[in-house]
Structure 1
Amino acid sequence: MVSWFRFLKRDQQLSVYFFAVPRLSLDIMGYWPGNPGDSLPRRSIVHFVILSIGVVTELHAGMLFLDQQQVTLALETLCPAGTSAVTLLKMFLMLHFRRDLSSMLNRLRSLLFDLKSERSDRRQIRVGHSVKAARINFWPLSTGFFTCTTYNLKPLLIALVLFLQDRLDGFVWFTPFNMTMPSVLMRSPFFPLTYIFIAYTGYVTIFMFGGCDGFYFEFCVHLSSLFEVLQAEIRSIFRPYKDHLELSPEEHYNLEQRMRDAIVRHNAIIDLARFFRDRYTIITLAHFVSAAMVIGFSMVNLLTAGGNTLGALLYVAYTVAALSQLLVYCYGGTLVAESSVELCRVIGSCPWQLFKPPQRRLVQLMILRSQRPVSMAVPFFSPSLATFAAILQTSGSIIALVKSFQ
């Protein structure tokens, strides 16, 4: 068990941190891309069917509550139902792009662990980014696990409190999540099994969210790491010629060859970023839409919880988990954009004027290309910290509006 969380330490090998949290979460569910020739684990289909049953029954229960005009119960049901529905979409897309994701991992690994650029400063960049990715990814997974556990323990805690107060007369057991199950499954002896099944659907959602969202963030962090390694490489290329006014033919040839390798590497990183963004477009868009709905539902439920301390704790945990998942997308997009633009300033500060006119045009084209940030934008949204701040500001306005009607 302790070996699973080695990535939280800082003295581990670089391979330990490489997609540590996404690999842990997705491997449990059976959705880790693995190698191109690997067969699909059976547990991935089992988990897909389990969550499909949970989504259908939960959405049906939410619609019934709305039809009965029980708005609070409807929001309490539809909030996790929307999260589970988006998770089901993520599971389908992870299966659909399984080979592409595996190919992207191999391409990223070849760029990240290139032995030709294995120097102490560049290794430090890779280790720093990898540790940061592992620790930040562990936070949304932890908050989601805590939220799901709170949901699952809520009926048990209520029963325990009533038992200690000797008030179990007339107590009716209820499930962690509101789902329309056949009445025979809600009675003895099947109720404990039904309770475990419903509780487990929540953990399927959490681990898929932690794996899929963590995969996105870690990929963005490693792209940022590649851009920073490229910046360090360009500085090292021009460092010996910083005080030169003119280059000898041999120096010019060596500088040109190294710069051409850097340009090829820059193009490969940009192509990889675009390939990854195209595969994650639907997932990112669906996540932003669902996160906005979840945050809104959770805040409304939180404001209407009143003196229900356990209910308030539940909605606070849900809101924190939703914001944490949204933050990893926004922070990841910011890291890629800022590191790609920084490359332009690094090249501009180097003595690239030492090149002859044909080679200068190559460098100028690289500067022009790096002036435009590599964006992880999807239709209607651009994951960035500015977007995250705008969402928080809008959420605060919603809270103030709802409070004004109380």
Structure 2
Amino acid sequence: MKFKFLSRTFPLRDYYFYVPQLCLGSMGFWPMDTCRQQAANVGAWMNLIILAIGVFTEIHAGCTVLRTDLELALDTLCPAGTSAVTLLKMTLIYYYRQDLAWVLERMRSLVYERDVSINPIKKRIIRAHAVMAARLNFIPFVMGFITCTSYNLKPLLITLILYMQGQQPMWKLPFNMTMPAFLLRAPYFPFTYIFTAYTGYITIFMYGGCDAFYFEFCSNAAALLKLLQEDLKSIVSFGGREEQLVFTAQESTLLEWRLVRFIMRHNDIIELTRFFCKRYTIITLAHFVSAGLVIGASIFDLMTFTGFGIVIYIAYTIAVLGQLFIYCYGGSLVAESSVQLATVAFGCDWYACNPKLRRYVLMIIIRSQRAISMSVPFFSPSLITFTSILQTSGSIIALASSFK
């Protein structure tokens, strides 16, 4: 029952930003909570401070062994980089909490304010995008959770194996961090271990929540553009009449009013997307830069590690690629749905309208030919970008294999 949101039988309105709310709400960073509940702000600050301590101690430990043990340094700095970017995401999510809360309210009103509940076609469009968003957002979160759990269990499994072999156990932390010596001995070591493991789960929940928030917005924006296409078909469809129709003054006024409302809704979606992109620009840039570095480090570790370390980095690489995919796929969804609006408008019976109404439709076609982009400085998230990343990663793997 806990995973019922992955099916198509979940209540439609409950799908709305379900996975982002699950992840961010667990850490106290859900914008609707931080704007209204003091307890959420306290939890958010506590998790922010805990992760900040974990990031700085982990980066210090990685830089310390960088010259002496490259493999250990990469094994330390790889999760440290992810945690550092997560810390940045946490800060920005909290800083823009009021803006993001407004985005949530505005998006909900645009998606559910109209006749979605009584129109089966529109209801099917909303549900299809909601189910897709829930499933795709859940996959990288699960892979990240598996990766973090693998890191946390690895020292315990190694210690257990050594104990069963009659050797001296080696008590190590899940993540390599610079800690005071007394925290690494009894009776404080279990608490240090729990603290270190918890920083990993903060990273997973916040990383997954921030990325899921982005894709959920893109999915809902694409659904709104699909709803606009259905609205335009209902407004400018006259049974395939090729000759120009003669409308009464009342009919012409009604059609004009419906087209004006259509254009206003289209403008609302465009402005809302731009508003959201500005708040997510740094997060998106940081995510792609860190993901590229993590993929490179993971490939190196996959080539050099043996045993349980390979399992960890396979899950790690899949999680990072999954998070990159939802960014790129989200950008493609919005761009393709916005451009498709021009195709739908051109396929309607706009030529049967009078010149004034025809100009409205032509303006819609011209406006829609320019895709709504989720672009940030230097690039635009899309499936083409994701394909380029995969090709580059494959080239690095081939190059690394040739040096064996």
TM-score, normalising length from structure 1? 0.95
**Distance in 2 of aligned mates of 1:79 and 1:195:** 19
In 2, are the aligned partners of 1:334 and 1:385 still within 8 Å (CA)?
yes
**Distance in 1 of aligned mates of 2:196 and 2:34:** 33
- 1:37 deviates by 4.8
In 1, are the aligned partners of 2:35 and 2:97 still within 8 Å (CA)?
no
- 1:220 deviates by 0.2
- The reply to whether residue 291 of structure 1 matches residue 296 of structure 2 is no
Specify the alignment match of 2:211 in structure 1. Answer: 213
Specify the alignment match of 2:126 in structure 1. Answer: 126
1:4-403 matched pairs, under 5 angstroms: 5-34=3-32, 37-40=35-38, 41=40, 42-66=42-66, 68-116=67-115, 118=117, 119-166=119-166, 168-169=167-168, 171-243=169-241, 245-249=244-248, 250-305=250-305, 308-403=306-401
- 1:74 deviates by 0.7
In 1, are the aligned partners of 2:244 and 2:354 still within 8 Å (CA)?
no
After superposing the two structures, state which structure 1 stretch, 27-36 or 211-220, moved more: 27-36
**Distance in 2 of aligned mates of 1:331 and 1:370:** 20
- 1:35 deviates by 6.2
- 1:309 deviates by 1.6
In 1, are the aligned partners of 2:330 and 2:382 still within 8 Å (CA)?
yes
In 2, are the aligned partners of 1:58 and 1:180 still within 8 Å (CA)?
yes
Q: Secondary structure at the match of 1:38?
A: coil
The one-letter code sitting in structure 1 at the alignment partner of 2:71 is T
TM-score, normalising length from structure 2? 0.96
- 1:36 deviates by 8.2
Q: Secondary structure at the match of 2:75?
A: helix
After superposing the two structures, state which structure 1 stretch, 360-369 or 72-81, moved more: 360-369
How many residues are matched?
399
In 2, are the aligned partners of 1:338 and 1:373 still within 8 Å (CA)?
yes
- 1:22 deviates by 0.4
Structure 2 unaligned spans of 5+: none
- 1:381 deviates by 2.1
**Distance in 2 of aligned mates of 1:36 and 1:391:** 36
In 1, are the aligned partners of 2:12 and 2:127 still within 8 Å (CA)?
yes
CA separation of 1:95/1:310 partners in 2, compared to 1, >3 Å: closer, same or farther? same
**Distance in 1 of aligned mates of 2:210 and 2:6:** 19
1:25-50 CA-partner distances (Å, limit 9, x unpaired): 00000000116850341110000000
- 1:364 deviates by 1.6
In 2, are the aligned partners of 1:36 and 1:103 still within 8 Å (CA)?
no
- 1:354 deviates by 2.9
The one-letter code sitting in structure 1 at the alignment partner of 2:336 is E
**Distance in 2 of aligned mates of 1:384 and 1:208:** 23
- 1:401 deviates by 1.2
- 1:185 deviates by 0.1
**Distance in 2 of aligned mates of 1:279 and 1:37:** 17
**Distance in 2 of aligned mates of 1:79 and 1:126:** 38
Cα RMSD over matched residues? 1.4
- 1:371 deviates by 0.2
**Distance in 1 of aligned mates of 2:90 and 2:9:** 33
1:40-69 CA-partner distances (Å, limit 9, x unpaired): 411100000000000000000011011x43
Q: Secondary structure at the match of 2:123?
A: helix
